[in-house]
Each structure stands twice: as C-alpha cells, then as structure tokens.
Amino acid sequence: MSDVQVLNGIKEHGVCAIVRGTSADSLCKIADSLLEGGVKTIEVTFNTPGAAQMIEELVKKYGKEMLIGAGTVLDSETARTAILSGASFILSPTLNIEMIRMCQRYSVLPVPGVSTPTEALTAWENGARIVKVFPAGVFGPNYIKQLKGPLPQIDMMAVGAINLENFADFIKAGASSAGIGGELVNKKLVDEGNFAEISRRARAFVNAFKEIKGV
C-alpha cells in the first residue's frame, strides 16, 4: 500500500488507537476488540518493549484489515527498524527531518509531531503531508482551527489527551483524525481482560466520527 493510500485510509477511518506499554500476550486481543468496535488504524509505540516484534505480528495477522503503524519514533534509525517490521506509517512526538526522509525513501507515510505553525510548515516543505499536533489536549480544539487558517493544505492528526468529550470538537475544528491512547486502549482494562469495554469505547469514537462526517 502506498503512502498516499495510507494517508487516505487514516483520514477515512478518523480514529487511530495508540497501544503503549502492553504485553505481547494481550496484543491480538486488543486488535480484535478494536476491530470489533470499528477501529481500523493502530499504532504501537516504540517505548513499548518488543514493539518491532509486535508490529510484525500485527502486520502478519491483521495487515489486510488494519493500517498498522509505529509511534514514539524519535529518529531515522528507529523509523527504519519500524519500516522493516512492516509499519505503514510512522508517528513521532517531535519534528525530525531525517525521520521524514527515511520514510520517503521507503514510501512509508511519515507523521511528524508539531506544535507551532513554523514546525507544521517545515514538516510540509520537507515532504510530510500530515502532521501530528501534539499535545493537542493542552492546546485545545481552537488551536487546530487557528493552525488550519493559514495552513489549510496540511492534514492534521490531533494527539494527546483526546477523549470522547473533546474528540468531536477536534474533528469539527479541522483535524483529519485523532490518535487516542488511554481513553481507548486503557491499561487497566487490558490488565483486567475487559476487552468488551475497549470495543465499546472504540465503537463510540467511530460512531462520533461518522456522525460528524455524515457517513
């Protein structure tokens, strides 16, 4: 799948589940619960032990059903490891130009982290077509709206403290999608084996996105 196709998929799905700090034993149960709730985009953060192997497992079992990416990628070396593991998109909390270039070399979608208009435009000028606005929950939905004013050509994913209460506001403000961590793949729920609740939360986010988009 090309980077353009992955970008279109992220925008179509609207919800990216962030898996952080979980065990490999829970990985497939998490993926199954997300799919049951309609979430088809997932990222495994690289500060999770065994992240590369987890991505390989997800790609092997869910590659035809889900978009699978890597998160918390801080440099080009880690990006290459994630790409070789099969990740189809690479997210970072920061703006690292070498990470973007590594992704472009392999036709993998880079999603660099930005928090200012200058960073957003710098990412765009260096080839990124979508940026991760982080920490979006601190800035608030209106910040996305203000960024999109002078930079309407740049797709933006809102990440950081996104929950069911503010998710719709971020999408309405102009975010193409949102990355959701603890409010969706909650560690306590995983530890308790309450995957039905993860499915319920996933469905709630997906339904909210569909309602906004009128689909």
The set of catalytic residues is 43, 132
Strand partners, 70: 44, 90
Distance of CA 36 to the CA centre of its chain: 18
Count CB atoms within 10 A of the CB of residue 169.
Answer: 17
What phi, psi does 101 have (nearest 5°)?
-65, -40
Per-residue tokens: 177: 């999608």
Q: Smallest Cα–Cα separation from 179: which of 134, 116, 114?
A: 134
Q: CA separation (Å) from 211 to 156, 172, 180, 214? A: 19, 11, 18, 5
The string of DSSP codes covering 74-139 is -SHHHHHHHHHTT-SEEE-SS--HHHHHHHHHTT-EEE-EE-SHHHHHHHHHTT-SEEEETTHHHH
Q: Smallest Cα–Cα separation from 132: which of 140, 141, 123?
A: 123
